[in-house]
Copies of this chain bind each other. A is one copy, B any other.
Amino acid sequence: MNKEIDDKLKLKNIKPTAMRQLVLEVLLQHKTAISLPELEQKFEKADKSTLYRTLKTFQEKQLIHAVEDGTGSLRYAVCDDFCTCEPKDLHVHFLCIKCNKTYCLHDIPVPEIELPEGFTFENANFVIKGICKKCNF
């Protein structure tokens, strides 16, 4: 099939089933993060729970990461090639309140915060809301 897709799957140790190839293709084409319900609509006839489990697998294998953008549904985006979903890979996300799209700001790392005494860091979710470039034009 598509070389790029199979390579990405192999790189993350995910067996390249037909379903997974299709889902990854959609994820790669899509420029912004996508939710399970949105993903479902991209297919004529696809089962929600299969898609759900596909996303779960992708996430566990660190092929995609999830964004809690507060829209009520988690959104997913493909990770950079050597992302391991650790703190160093965390970046800021942007939700456009007009077009409701969620962008990965890959170049903008989540700033480090000095936590209060006794609190320890594990993870972070930083979402900025506003108007995106397209909607500002």
Contacts and interface: CB of A to CB of B under 8 A. Distances in A.
Contacts of A70: 68, 125
Size bin of chain A's contact surface:
20 to 34
Contacts of A108: 113-114
A94 B133 CA distance: 30
A108 to B, nearest CB: 6
A131 interface: yes
Contacts of A19: none
B122 A136 contact: no
Interface string A108-121: 10010111111111
Interface of A: 68, 70, 92, 94, 97, 105, 107-108, 111, 113-133, 136-137
